Amino acid sequence: MKNFEVTCPNCQQQFEVEVPKVQVKRGQLYGIAVPDMTDEQLKREIINSKSVLYKAKQRGASDETIAANQARVDAAMAEKEKRQGAKATAKVDAPNVAAAMESGEAAPETAEGDAGVYNEETASEI
């Protein structure tokens, strides 16, 4: 808490005012854990953490501070690698459409007949 005195312009009395200290949340995007960040937040965290590490090295910060900043960068990069690996394994092998068209294979929905396909008879009934 920060205390200061204010003088009232009307009555000229002094009052002591107590104001809470504003705390600015910094680092790791306002306390969000790295695994809980969205991809965009993770991207921003990587940029921020690398910047903090660079500035700490430039100003000659203690080894302890540099190690903490390096750990922050490493954690963000590990999460990025983990997500990229998960995305790569999550891709579903889609059939090669061009090869299917060249070979003349029918799509599964047309192999059973023309069920659900527009035709003149169905259109006239509607």
Most confident range (mean pLDDT) of 23-32, 76-85, 101-110 is 76-85
Residue 105 forms part of a structural domain: no
Q: For helices 39-59 and 63-90, what crossing angle results, to 10°?
A: 160
User: What is the pLDDT, as a whole number, of residue 34?
Assistant: 85
What are the pLDDT digits (tens) for 74-84? Answer: 999 999 999 98
Residue 102 forms part of a structural domain: no
Question: In 1-91, at which residue ranges do the beta strands (DSSP E only) sit?
Answer: 2-7, 14-19
d(CA 72, CA 55): 14
What are the pLDDT digits (tens) for 62-104? Answer: 999 999 999 999 999 999 999 988 777 765 545 555 565 566 5
User: What is the pLDDT, as a whole number, of residue 51?
Assistant: 95
Contact criterion met (CB below 8 Å) for 54 and 69? no
Residue 15 forms part of a structural domain: no
Instruction: Give residue 80's domain range.
Output: 27-89
Residue 76 forms part of a structural domain: yes
Residue 120 forms part of a structural domain: no
CA atoms within 13 A on the CB side of 21: 6
Contact criterion met (CB below 8 Å) for 20 and 1? yes
Q: How many domains is the chain partitioned into structurally?
A: 1
Residue 51 forms part of a structural domain: yes
| Neighbouring residues of 49: CB distance < 8 A, sequence distance ≥ 6 | 69, 72, 73, 76
Amino acid at 28: Q
pLDDT confidence tier of residue 6, bands split at 50, 70 and 90 = confident
Question: Is the pTM here over 0.75, yes or no?
Answer: no
